[in-house]
């Protein structure tokens, strides 16, 4: 068994909290906003699509934030995070934005979050986004491994698979069928109890 510490790196939306854009689509009645990285693997194309819809409908950052304020972590996520923080170091690696994520971080107990930023004009319209670093999830996992952590990565979408590949172990959490089909090498967890078992099995291997 390795003496190096285990660190769990997790995606945020779809893993610990609901998908923000899906919730916003339901709140606004705009079905085109339901598309996520589960549907479109090209993140730049997806964000261009989203910002175009926001402009078309005159929707501002504040409109999205009002929806986020009423959202809660996924059932069981808080108990899972309590369990995890007592046993293993962890970090959330997400393609979301700090402007979206702060309410969730408060509810999750302020875990370390690495994500991206939005650019907003004087009228409160989202005009651009800025990636903290390209391919940030994969780079973060590589850096953590260089610090001699044994990294377990967990995500649900196409944009998580690069970090799962670089990690010492990867977990797909409730992935959609297309992701399941294309990445059969990763174990699938449909609930947090399964996640715990997979983490413990790796930690003691």
**Residues of the chain with pLDDT > 90: what percent?**
85
- Mapped onto helix, strand or coil, the DSSP state of residue 155 is strand
Q: How confident is the model at residue 2 (pLDDT cuts 50, 70, 90)?
A: low
- Mapped onto helix, strand or coil, the DSSP state of residue 148 is coil
Q: Could you please report the per-residue DSSP string of 171-185?
A: EEES--HHHHHH-TT
User: Token digits for 100?
Assistant: 């979206």
Selecting among 11, 95, 160, 166, the annotated active-site residue is 11
Is 6-17+74-117+131-203 a domain of CATH 3.30.70.20? no
Q: Which helix (H) or strand (E) holds 158?
A: none
95 assigned to active site: no
Mean pLDDT of 102-116: 92
Kindly give the pairing relationship between strand 89-97 and strand 113-120.
parallel
* pLDDT of 175 above 80: yes
User: Each residue of 110-168: pLDDT tens digit?
Assistant: 999 999 999 999 999 999 999 989 899 999 999 999 999 999 999 999 989 999 999 99
11 assigned to active site: yes
The answer to whether the CB of 67 falls within 8 A of the CB of 23 is: yes
Residue 18 CA, distance from chain mean position: 10
Instruction: List the chain domain ranges.
Output: 6-17+74-117+131-203
Selecting among 13, 19, 95, 99, the annotated active-site residue is 13
């Amino acid at each position: 068994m390795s003496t190096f510490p285990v660190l769990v790196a997790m995606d945020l939306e779809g893993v610990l909290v609901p998908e923000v854009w899906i919730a916003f689509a339901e709140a606004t009645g705009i079905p085109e906003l339901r598309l996520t990285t589960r549907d479109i693997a090209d993140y730049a194309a997806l964000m261009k699509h989203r910002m175009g819809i926001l402009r078309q409908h005159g929707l501002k950052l504040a409109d999205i934030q009002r929806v986020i304020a009423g959202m809660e972590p996924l059932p069981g996520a808080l108990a899972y995070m309590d369990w995890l923080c007592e046993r293993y170091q962890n970090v959330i690696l997400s393609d979301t934005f700090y402007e979206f994520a702060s309410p969730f971080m408060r509810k999750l107990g302020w875990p370390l979050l690495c994500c991206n930023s939005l650019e907003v004009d004087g009228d409160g319209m989202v005009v651009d986004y800025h990636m903290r670093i390209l391919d940030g999830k994969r780079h973060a996992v590589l850096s953590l491994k260089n610090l001699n952590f044994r990294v377990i990565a967990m995500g649900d979408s196409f944009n998580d698979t690069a970090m799962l590949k670089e990690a010492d172990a990867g977990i797909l959490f409730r992935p959609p069928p297309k992701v399941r089909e294309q990445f059969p090498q990763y174990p699938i967890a449909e609930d947090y109890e399964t996640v715990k078992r997979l983490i413990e099995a790796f930690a003691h291997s």
